[in-house]
Chain A
Amino acid sequence: MIRNPDPLIDSLISQLAPVRPMRLSTGLGRTALSLAAAIGLVVAMLGLRGDATPLVLLSSGLFLVLGAAASVTVIMMGRPRVGSEHSGWLWAAAMAALLPATTLLMGLIHGPTAWAESDPATGMACLAMGLLFGLATASVLVAWLRRGAPTSPARAGLITGIAAGSFGIFAFSFHCPSNDLYHIGVWHSLSVIVAAVIGRVIVPRLIRW
């Protein structure tokens, strides 16, 4: 069958170059490498903390799970398809939110003196370090989204920030010497929240369609 020539299609055909499909395993592998790199940098530059209390292990685990769930969601969002919910990360976020919620509740029960050990200057430093070490994951996920076709760039930006902030503060937890609920519950959680806001604002501008 002879078809009418279409200049646009002819042009697209002439521009065709081989591309590697964006496989889930590739995205997961790159994100895992970014997390490993962040942990390696924390340990090499700042040193490993001496001990680990159950609170530290539990809170770090929550951030690790949240970072993983958010990363998987972002990777899936780069490969769009009708029928995808992209909502699995919300359950991990709800679990991780128990940490600041518990902190606030304990603060209300025990009064202002309970916050005495949570030095704001130290907390701000932790927040900044969480953001800094989250940059490794953020750069991997943003590059993935730029290559992919996220149909909700704003939402993708928000979840990218959550993934980067969670992995960043998880990596920094290998060094952070604090065992204090109020420090971890407030400042480590804030690192994720601030990263989410930054991701929501900046990442959509970096995505190209």
Chain B
Amino acid sequence: MKADEASLGQLAALAQRGDRAAYAAFLREAQLWLRRYFVRRVGAEFLDDLVQETLLSIHAKLSSYDPHRPLLPWLAAIARYRWVDQLRRIYRAQEDALSEELPCEDDEPEIAARISLDRLFSYLPEGQVRAIELVKIEGLSVTEAAAASGQSESLVKVNIHRGLKKLATLIEKA
């Protein structure tokens, strides 16, 4: 069963008061939500690490959630920060298969659209998106990405650099 946002928020509020049962339920639901959130925008081999890093950040920054406000925008802000941080660290991964195991359905399409990772990419020029997708997500080398995208190698590097810099500024804004 998938918990709705209000229930998740209540679980997080109880966790802030030290309720371990609520925290366990919250973390498990958050883990599932994060896997769905990241699955199309991260290489399959990096998905588990990214979910775990985000769960660690949620644990460390639990007090930054205001229980009077919706939970998903908070969760998504932390997830986006971790995602951009990982994109900056990943380079030249070899496997390019994207996982299709997990469905990406969501019960709240408006919120999902607002907080999605795809929305972040919509603020970037196509060339930057393509370079980041090919090198940082699909794991191609710069040379392979240049051949696949029709960009020069130096342009691929510049597009990745500029694109990641721009993504970092859009984490909450976009």
Contact = CB atoms under 8 A, between A and B. Distances in A.
> Are A and B associated in one complex?
yes
Contact of B55 (A8, A23, A84): A8
Contacts of B31: 6, 9
Contacts of A81: 69-70, 73-74, 76-77, 172
A20 B63 contact: yes
Interface residues of B, number: 43
A21 B76 contact: no
B55 A12 contact: yes
A78 interface: yes
Nearest to B22: A16
B61 A149 contact: yes
A13 B24 contact: yes
A33 B62 CA distance: 25
Interface string B132-174: 0000000000000000000000000000000000001101111
B105 to A, nearest CB: 19
Q: Classify the interface of chain A: helix, strand, loop or mixed.
A: loop
Nearest to A77: B172
B17 A18 contact: yes
A24 B168 CA distance: 24
Contacts of A121: none
B93 interface: no
A189 B85 CA distance: 35
B23 A16 contact: yes
Interface in B49-67: 52, 55-57, 59-67
B39 interface: no
B80 A18 contact: no
Contacts of A3: 28
A9 B25 CA distance: 10
A209 B61 CA distance: 8
Majority secondary structure, B binding face: helix
B104 to A, nearest CB: 17
B173 A78 contact: no
Nearest to A87: B173
Contacts of B173: 84-86
B64 A79 contact: yes
Contact of A82 (B20, B59, B60, B172): B172
Given A22-B64, A148-B64, A149-B57, A80 B172 contact: yes
> Chain A interface: which size bin?
20 to 34
A178 B31 CA distance: 60
Most chain B CB within a 10 A radius of its CB, from A78, A148, A149:
A149
Contact of A12 (B17, B59, B69, B85): B59
B92 interface: no
B73 A82 contact: yes
Nearest to B16: A19
A13 B76 contact: no
Interface of A: 1, 3, 6, 8-9, 12-13, 15-24, 78-86, 147-149, 151-152, 155, 208-209
19 contacts: A8-B55, A8-B56, A9-B24, A13-B20, A13-B23, A13-B24, A15-B59, A16-B15, A16-B20, A16-B23, A18-B17, A20-B16, A24-B66, A82-B115, A85-B173, A149-B57, A151-B78, A151-B81, A208-B60
